[in-house]
Structures are given as structure tokens and as C-alpha cells.
Amino acid sequence: MSAPYQVQFQPYQFPLTFPLVTAHGHWTHRQGIIIQLTNDQGQTSSGEIAPLPWFGTETLAQATEFCQQLNGWITPEKIQDLGDYLPCCQFAFGSAEWGFADQADQTDKFQDLNYCQLLPTGKTALDYLEKVPTLSCQTVKWKIGVQKVPTEQAWFLQLLAKLPPNTHLRLDANGGLNLTEAKQWLALLDRQRQDSQTTIHIEYLEHPLPLHQLSDLFSLAQTFQTQIALDESVASVAQLQSLYDQQWPGIYILKGAIMGDPRRLHHWLTTHPIKAIFSSVFETAIARQQVLKLAQRWNLPYYAVGFSPSITNPLEPIKKATKN
Ligand code: MG
């Protein structure tokens, strides 16, 4: 048996800069757990458990219980055998252990990344664009599926007029449309793509329909020109494999921090060529760096990652407050 690692863990909570409004509801605070492994040579490496239960992951309570029952120690064998019912714990412990190998090998070459700015949901995006002189990224994302289609489509057309030239725009319905509404949106997006007067580039529509309407998502992908991206349907490597086997023709959004051990995802991607966009779950800098490392190798070239350009570590104010 390999030498066990000493485990320390620390729960965290911070308010999101902008409360997130999606078809899943309102989300105002991110909670998670930072873990730290120490190996038998005294080296340390960190990982992050950032659950997203509405994507089918473990809850924070389940992750906390798992960390507590370790009693301060975990073996490499146990990390390898962590069940798929704890995908965020798998990510945290797997990426922390991978970090030890990284400390020894820094030779890999990676592509540079472009980032994506999430606009406020609904009409607030229009007010926001009135106020800010410039955007932080050339790629932006706007959530839909929160208001009625005619209302949102009217805002969408105003949004196109307000965005800077050559902006790349992604829409995300978070599974919040029905089939009729999805067709209305895709028809509008297809028309927009063919409009030679505009320089706004529509990249894709994310999850127009709920997860259980997968066959309808396939038929939409075959009917419309605008690319469709799957996100909520790709919460694990098993789901990724299943969609790959069914030959999903569109984009796969990979939220690396909830998809289990990153070494397993990395290995899968070496043998399965897909159009992958790596995306955030509003994690701290710890998981962010580990997911971006995968993105540098596997994100679809010339497409931004689904992460904001930079973050001040959201845990810093909490640490400072604790010190004072
Ligand atoms: Mg999404």
C-alpha cells in the first residue's frame, strides 16, 4: 500500500459578485471546501470541493461528512476508488494528488486562453451596457429562459445593437425552454447569423431544452444552423461517454470541477475528439487553475473558456477578516 496523505479541510462561503439568475432560480452564495494533502515528504497540494447539486453532484453536507470520516488521512488507493456518487470530492482529491506530479514536471506547453464575460440576466444586461464603457472580453454570455420569449427576443435585438462590433455572443437557456420556444429562438439566431449587416457572431445556444428531452435536442441540432451546446447533460464522464456514443454533433460544456478526477477526464479526452468548452462553477482560484490547466490542452481552439478573465480570490476578504 502507498503512503497515505495527511488531510486538512476548511469549509468556505462567499457571496457571488453578481447574484446569478437562471432558469434554475437565484444563486447568491458559493459554498465549498478547500482540502490540503501533505505527502510523506512534507510537500502540500490543495484541491477544492465545489458542489453543484442541481447538476446531480453530492451536496455540501455529503462532502463534509466524507471529509470528516477520513479522520485526517487518505491513501492513494482510496482516492482512486472514490465512488462516482462523490464527483466533486473525486475532483478535489484527484487534482490535489495530480498537483504533486505537476510539482515535478513543468514542461508541458499549453495554448493561451480567451475568457468570457457573463452579462447580467434579462433587461439588466441592457442597462449594464449603457453604463460600462468597455467589456472585459470579446466573448459574452447572456442567460435566457427566464422571461417570456417575445420579451426576451426584443431585449436580445436591443442587446445586439448595443454590443461592441465583433463581439462573440453565447446564449444559455439552462434547459428552461419548451420545444416551441427553442425553435423560435433557434430560428431567430439562424436569421441573425445570416444577417450580413451585423458583426456580432452568435457562437451557440446552450441547453435550450430540459435534460430529459435529449432526442429533441438532437433533432434541433440537425435542423438548425446555430450550434447547440450541452451543459447540464454532461455532468460526468459517464454522461460524456454516453453522448459521444450517440454522436452528439454539437458542443460539450465541461464543468471540470464537478466531473470527478481530472486525470480521468484528461485521459478520456486524449482518445475522444470533441468540441469542448471548459466552464466555471464559480469556484475559487484553486479549482479554477486546475480546470484551466485542462482547458489549455483541450478547449476548442479560438473559442473562449466559460470563465471570467480573472478573479480576485473571493476568499481573501474572509481570510483578512479572520486575521483582524
Ligand atoms: Mg450552461
Could you list the active site residues? 143, 255
311 pLDDT band, cuts 50/70/90, is low
Quick check: is 9 in a domain?
Answer: yes
Residues of the domain holding 78: 5-100
> Which pLDDT score, from 0 to 100, does residue 125 have?
93
What's the CA-to-centroid distance between 172 and ligand 1, angstroms?
A: 5
The DSSP line for 113-158 is: ---EEEPPSTTHHHHHHHH-SS-S-SEEEEE-SSS-HHHHHHHHHH
Same domain, 130 and 270: yes
Same domain, 278 and 139: yes
Terminus-to-terminus CA distance in the chain, angstroms?
44
Domain count of the chain?
2
110 pLDDT band, cuts 50/70/90, is low
pLDDT beyond 90 at 19: no
Grid cell digits, residue 95: 487534482
Same domain, 145 and 68: no
| pLDDT above 90: percentage of residues in the chain | 79
What's the CA-to-centroid distance between 77 and ligand 1, angstroms?
A: 34
Residue 122 exposure: Cα atoms within 13 Å on the Cβ side: 11
Torsion of CA 22, 57, 206, 173, to 10 degrees: -20
Write down the mean pLDDT value for the chain: 91
Same domain, 87 and 128: no
Residue 191 CA: distances (Å) to CA of 157, 166, 185, 220, 225: 12, 17, 10, 15, 10
CATH number at residue 14: 3.30.390.10
3-state secondary structure string, 146-163?
CCCHHHHHHHHHHHHHHC
What's the CA-to-centroid distance between 61 and ligand 1, angstroms?
A: 24
Q: What integer is the mean pLDDT of 3-27?
A: 85
Last residue of a domain, one of 69, 100, 131: 100
Out of 33-42, 113-122, 170-179, 315-324, pick the least confident: 315-324
108 pLDDT band, cuts 50/70/90, is low
Same domain, 159 and 12: no
Residue 262 exposure: Cα atoms within 13 Å on the Cβ side: 29
Same domain, 277 and 141: yes
> Which pLDDT score, from 0 to 100, does residue 312 have?
57
Last residue of a domain, one of 100, 133, 154: 100
Same domain, 122 and 264: yes
Residue corresponding to grid cell 449587416: 197
Contacts of 8 (CB under 8 A, 6+ apart): 35, 36, 38, 72
CATH number at residue 143: 3.20.20.120
